[in-house]
Structure 1
Amino acid sequence: MKEKLLVSSNEQLKEFAKIVNSDHPLKKVTADEKLKVGVDLGTSSIVLTVLNAKDQIIYGAYEYDHAVQDGIVVNFMESVSILRRLKEKAEKVLGRELTTACGAIPPKTGEKSAKVVANVIEETGLECTGIEDEPTAAAKFLHLTNGTVVDIGGGTTGISIFHNNKLVHVIDEATGGFHMTLVLGGRYKIKNDEAEQLKRDKNKEQEVYSVIRPVVEKMAAIVQNMDAEVIDPVIVVGGATNFTEFTTTFSKSLKREVYKPLYPQFVTPLGIAMFDN
């Protein structure tokens, strides 16, 4: 059952991975067709996704950034500049203007954070139609009605629990991919930028993971502390989960099966776009 839950999502994610940052869309669009746009201002990257009215993937683009810290925009103008470039690239590929977009923030980071994200979006000429919390956006893309989504981004671990298609509990903790980077930097006595590149080097994944495993175990402990509130299936998403052994560590810590979609870094950005109504 749980594997079936991810089949459709994984097919969409594979399609998106083929066209993201490319020079062609997945599907052609007409001049008057309704498009839905998602903007994910992440700690390690900014992602723009484009869907049609039926939530089918059209296009997407991203850039790595240093404009967000722990899920909070700390460099407004850099965020705007990157998002403007992504918007212009998407418009060039699609051959038409994008007019609206939905954004997202980590759970419980407050109205001020939501306002800043909305301001970044609108500074690029897009109308911001709403700000969602990131794990809820992930759950929408995964079509999850019952279960637990653990969205691990660059700066935070957000946990949303759903029962009968309703959000029943949500928390957010300041532990994410950036904390892995800090641990690597300390272990090898290198700067954060170098540590970030090392973290993304698939050829050194086994060595890297042996160093950052305690950070992953801490993330799992955040979920474990919710104990009886956690509902199966538990699904982890976010760029920081992109390690082969990640779900093995989580499953061992939680003593329950943990699942991860393909290309987990794109789940939340695609879910955000689904809210652009």
Structure 2
Amino acid sequence: MIRDKTCDQYVAEFEKAEQFPIKGDSPYYLTGIDLGTAYIVLVVLDHQKNIVAGAHRRADVIRDGMIVDYIGAITIVRELKEKLEQQLQTELLFASAAIPPGMATLDGGVVKNVVQGAGFELTALLDEPTAANTIVGLINGAIVDIGGGTTGISILKDGQVVKSVDEATGGTHFTLVVSGACQLPFDEADDYKRNSRNHQELLGLLKPVVQKISSIIKKSIEGFDIDLIYLVGGTSCLTGIEKIIEQELGIRTIKPRNPMFVTPIGIAMNCSQEVID
């Protein structure tokens, strides 16, 4: 497992590199691509796996873990790739990507085609919670990746994934609740939900959805001795979500700094120069 810093340190480095790319003379660069329901994120590493650049953009090309706008996905990834290439004054060739747990047979080929269609060579394709754990470094417990459309759960024992599941509940369901309660169009409700200044006001409103996610986690971990849950994914950014989940499950629950970027960084850390078939 590639991990020589804390998860929060990796995220802080990404946030800084996204604002101030580090142009150097690395012989090659490695890129992680996270095709999320709400955002597409690219993370670039140098040959020593230091984070040197990154970019993210709002997107509506994925629903419930499935790519529904193939051309749109390629276009966004290609545009972000070109932006990063201009910043680093180099060509980005190698990329890794991830999919929700259990989706390999359904969408793995499409993800590969998006990565290649944007001009990359695909070197790794893994599930999202496993990618996140590359920098989380959890030995025993559960990684819970709460995205826009789905919640992915990976249970780890002695550092190895022993079970992975994915359920269709996530940030989109939060937005639908906000839209109905506040009488806002979906897009406006989504923006309102993302603003952390509104989180305290919305937490009570969204608690039933968080409780639903908690019930998904509870069902998924039945039969396993879990004493730690680690939250990642953009929807985990909701202030206080970790406290509700901890109260519902009675299990210590941790949320890192800006959990939205944990999985993309982990994806990048799994990139190499070895192209997969």
2:87 to 60, 84, 93: 93
Deviation readout 1:18-77 (Å, 9 max, x if unpaired):
232x3x31x433152x32211000000000001223332111100001111111110011
1:245 to 240, 248, 264: 240
Percent identical among aligned pairs is 39
CA RMSD, 1 decimal: 1.7
Question: Kindly tell me: are residues 54 and 163 of structure 1, through their superposed partners in 2, closer, same or farther at Cα, counting changes over 3 Å?
Answer: farther
Alignment of 1:213-252 (within 5 A): 213-225=207-219, 226-252=221-247
CA drift of 1:116 comes to 0.7
Write the letter of the residue equivalent to 1:208.
Answer: L
Runs of at least 5 residues in structure 1 that lack an aligned partner in the other structure: none
1:112 to 106, 111, 115: 106
> In 2, Cα distance between the equivalents of 1:71 and 1:17?
25
Give the alignment's TM-score, normalised by structure 2. 0.92
Deviation readout 1:170-200 (Å, 9 max, x if unpaired):
1110001111111111212222101101101
Deviation readout 1:66-123 (Å, 9 max, x if unpaired):
1111111100111111111110111111110000101111101232301111111101
Give the alignment's TM-score, normalised by structure 1. 0.92
Runs of at least 5 residues in structure 2 that lack an aligned partner in the other structure: 273-277
* Counterpart secondary structure, 1:28: coil
Answer yes or no: is the 8 Å Cα contact 1:138–1:237 preserved in 2: yes
> In 1, Cα distance between the equivalents of 2:159 and 2:47?
21
Answer yes or no: is the 8 Å Cα contact 1:6–1:142 preserved in 2: no
* Counterpart secondary structure, 1:190: coil
Answer yes or no: is the 8 Å Cα contact 2:23–2:87 preserved in 1: no
What is the number of residues matched between the two proteins?
269
Matched, 1:41 2:35: yes
What's the counterpart of residue 272 of structure 1? Answer: 267
1:11 to 9, 12, 30: 9
What's the counterpart of residue 275 of structure 2? Answer: none
Answer yes or no: is the 8 Å Cα contact 2:140–2:156 preserved in 1: yes
Write the letter of the residue equivalent to 1:18.
Answer: K
Write the letter of the residue equivalent to 1:155.
Answer: G
Answer yes or no: is the 8 Å Cα contact 1:50–1:58 preserved in 2: yes
* Counterpart secondary structure, 1:175: coil
Question: Kindly tell me: are residues 115 and 201 of structure 1, through their superposed partners in 2, closer, same or farther at Cα, counting changes over 3 Å?
Answer: same
Alignment of 1:180-219 (within 5 A): 180-219=174-213
What's the counterpart of residue 96 of structure 2? Answer: 102
Answer yes or no: is the 8 Å Cα contact 1:101–1:129 preserved in 2: yes
Answer yes or no: is the 8 Å Cα contact 1:153–1:240 preserved in 2: yes
> In 2, Cα distance between the equivalents of 1:145 and 1:36?
26
> In 2, Cα distance between the equivalents of 1:227 and 1:167?
15
* Counterpart secondary structure, 1:229: coil
Write the letter of the residue equivalent to 2:228.
Answer: P
> In 2, Cα distance between the equivalents of 1:188 and 1:77?
33
> In 2, Cα distance between the equivalents of 1:8 and 1:54?
17
Answer yes or no: is the 8 Å Cα contact 1:102–1:273 preserved in 2: yes
Matched, 1:50 2:48: no
Structure 1 segments of 4 or more deviating over 6 A? Answer: none
1:122 to 110, 116, 130: 116
Write the letter of the residue equivalent to 2:201.
Answer: E
CA drift of 1:165 comes to 1.9
Answer yes or no: is the 8 Å Cα contact 1:9–1:142 preserved in 2: yes
Answer yes or no: is the 8 Å Cα contact 1:6–1:261 preserved in 2: no
